Structure 1
Amino acid sequence: MNIFLWILTGVLAAFFLAAGVTKLSQSRAKLLESGNMNWVEDLSAGTVKLIGTAELLGAIGLILPAVLDIAPILVPLAATGLAVIMLLAIIVHARRKENQPIILNAVILVVAVVVAIFRFGPNSF
């Protein structure tokens, strides 16, 4: 089970690392141009950067504490925080009536919740 959780955690961390770096490295206008992030028009540039920072820190928090064996309790806390981000993303997309992103957000939410539950409980470090 530990290997399975590491795989889930690695995939989750890679997803949020890419998402966070994208939001932090590109301007709001460029994110809007991509066509995949139309929700950005509802938020300020600062809020988008805040979301990107939270995603990046969450990705780091999923891996480094466990690998370095320094405060491994941060792993399920990071997973919980990322689950909250996905829940909020679902709400934003539902308000905008964007059904396609909701499916991806729901899958990522489930993965984050599974990692959080198992790392808090039976498979904690």
Structure 2
Amino acid sequence: MNVVLWIIAGLLAVMFLVAGGAKLTQSKEKLAASPNMAWTEDFSPNMLKLIGALEVLAAAGLILPAALDIVPVLVPLAALGLVLLMVGAAITHARRKENQAIVINLVFIVLAGVVVWGRFGPYS
């Protein structure tokens, strides 16, 4: 199970590193022009940068503490942060009636939830 948790955490880290990096490096207008990113119109540029920074920090928090064996309790906390971030994303998409995006958010919630459960529980 430990290997499965590492794989899930690695996949989440890659996904959120890419997504957060895009939000940090691209303008609001460029993000809004991307497919499935129309929701960015509802947020200020600073809020988009904050969301991107949280995603990048969570990606680092999923891997680095356990890999370096420095405060490994940060791994489930980073995963919990992603759960909360994705709940907020699902609410945003629900308000905009973007049902397909909600399904993607739910998948991320479940995956991050498995990491929270595994790293706080039997495989900490």
- Measured in 2, the distance between the counterparts of 1:123 and 1:117 equals 9
| Alignment match, 1:117 | 117
Root-mean-square deviation (Å): 0.5
The answer for unaligned runs of 5 or more in structure 1 is none
Instruction: Using the aligned pairs only, state the percent identity.
Output: 59
CA distance in 2, matches of 1:34, 1:83: 24
After superposition, what is the alpha-carbon deviation per residue over 1:18-39, rounded to whole angstroms, capped at 9, x for unaligned? 1100100100000011132100
Aligned to 2:40: 40
Letter in 1 for 2:3: I
TM-score if structure 2 supplies the norm length? 0.98
Aligned residues: 124
Structure 1 outlier segments of 4+, above 2 Å: none
Q: Deviations over 1:56-112 (max 9, x none)?
A: 000000000000000000000000000100000000000000011111110011000
Aligned counterparts, 1:1-125, within 5 A: 1-124=1-124
Amino acid at match of 1:57: L
Structure 1: distance between partners of 2:86 and 2:115: 14
Normalization by structure 1: what TM-score? 0.98
Which range is displaced more, 47-56 or 26-35? 26-35
